[in-house]
Every structure is written in structure tokens, then in C-alpha cells.
Structure 1
């Protein structure tokens, strides 16, 4: 059951970012974000993840002990988020929006019958090259 919860939550958003910065980012949402996922329906539980946004592209490295996830999607210049997440046979979606320092939205993993909401806080920005 923990594997299912970890996979579903990792799929659900995969949104937590890590890194350090000394200058303004090229894209205002670039950097590392800490994302908390809360389950409103289903057995997926609540968890916190780190993601990276670089030039508006979302990247998730995963956490030790969790199934690898592939995340496809971008953060629009207006902060709109639309992500597709896949891990093994499970597929999920996340949507919402980010401001320069925080964000929120919803997620779901239909194959596990889970859905919920997420909130994010920016932790750092990337330096310009």
C-alpha cells in the first residue's frame, strides 16, 4: 500500500524544486519549489515533494525509495500549469497556477481513484547564465 501511495503522489504532481541562486531567473517561475499534495478522495495520502522548473519546463528527479516518474509539461509565462505524469502503468494530471513565490491547484490519478489539491512555495531561483 505504501508503494501505491508513493507512486500516486509522485505521479500526482512531482512538483518540488531544488537549487540555489545568485541572480534573477530567466523565467520568473524558474527555480526550486516545495509542493505539498493533499488527497481529498482516495487512498493516496498527503506528502511533500521537490521539483525544478527551468525555462518553464518542469523536471522531477524523484525521491529515494519511490518509483521513477516522468513529467511532461510547462509553466506558462502567466503561471498556468498543465502537467502529465507517468510512473509504470499509472498516469496522472495536475493543473493550477503559480505566482512568483507560491501556487496551488488540483491533481488526480484516475487509475488509483485519487484526487486532491496541491500548494507550492518557491525555495530558490536559478542564476542567469
Structure 2
């Protein structure tokens, strides 16, 4: 349940902050990404889907405790309200793992992303 709330805040905030994104990407992974988060263990929501914006290789969201980056090689590292995700982007797709908690019970799973 907390994962769904975290994912919704993270992705909605990131999308809202992308409205003024520059026309030319500053890094190879800048732009809008469709992200699906899947829980494989714990009591978090089974899946959550949303859109994420990356600008200058930075993952951020207005009004949410989000920090992270995507390196030029596509390495993803992000923290969202105490949940952590990492993985790899390659071209217009990527995947990785995440871990966090819901009501103090650990949750973990995988994520997948594709560029819009």
C-alpha cells in the first residue's frame, strides 16, 4: 500500500515538474518514461504504473522526497521517501530492482521502464 502511494507521489510529481522540459535532451536518457513497478515480496501494492520525467540526467519531483540520477551509461539510482531503486537503462528501455516497506514490513520487487 505504501509503495503505491510512494510511486504515485513520485511519478505524478516528476510528471508535473516536466511540463517545462527543454526541447533538446541534455543527456541520452532525458525525457518521459513509462514505468511499471511490480512487487515480488511483502505487503506493498502488487503493481503501480506511471510516467516519470528525467531532465539533465536527474530524477526529481516537486512536493515529494525524491532524489536520483541516471548516468550517461544508463545506471539508475533513486531514493523515494525511504524506498530505493536501482537498475539500468539501455536505449529506450530499462529495468531494475527496488526495496522499501509498507507499514514497517519490508517489500521488494522489480521495475521496468520504456521511453515515450
TM norm structure 2? 0.78
Once the two structures are overlaid, the 10-residue window that deviates more, 32-41 or 111-120, is 111-120
Give the whole-Å Cα distance in 2 for the aligned partners of 1:97 and 1:24: 22
Q: Hey, what does 2:49 align to over in structure 1?
A: 48
Structure 1 runs (4+) deviating above 6 angstroms are none
> Are the counterparts in 2 of residues 10 and 69 from structure 1 also a CA contact under 8 Å?
no
What is the count of residue pairs matched by the alignment? 110
- Give the RMSD, CA atoms, in angstroms: 2.8
1:1-129 matches, cutoff 5 A: 2=1, 4-10=2-8, 14=11, 24-44=24-44, 45-60=46-61, 69-86=64-81, 91-110=82-101, 111-123=104-116
Change (3 A) 1:109 1:37: same
1:81-104 deviation line (CA, Å, top 9, x unaligned): 111111xxxx11000011120100
Give the whole-Å Cα distance in 1 for the aligned partners of 2:61 and 2:43: 22
TM norm structure 1? 0.71
Give the whole-Å Cα distance in 2 for the aligned partners of 1:33 and 1:53: 8
Structure 1 unpaired stretches of 5+: 62-67, 124-129
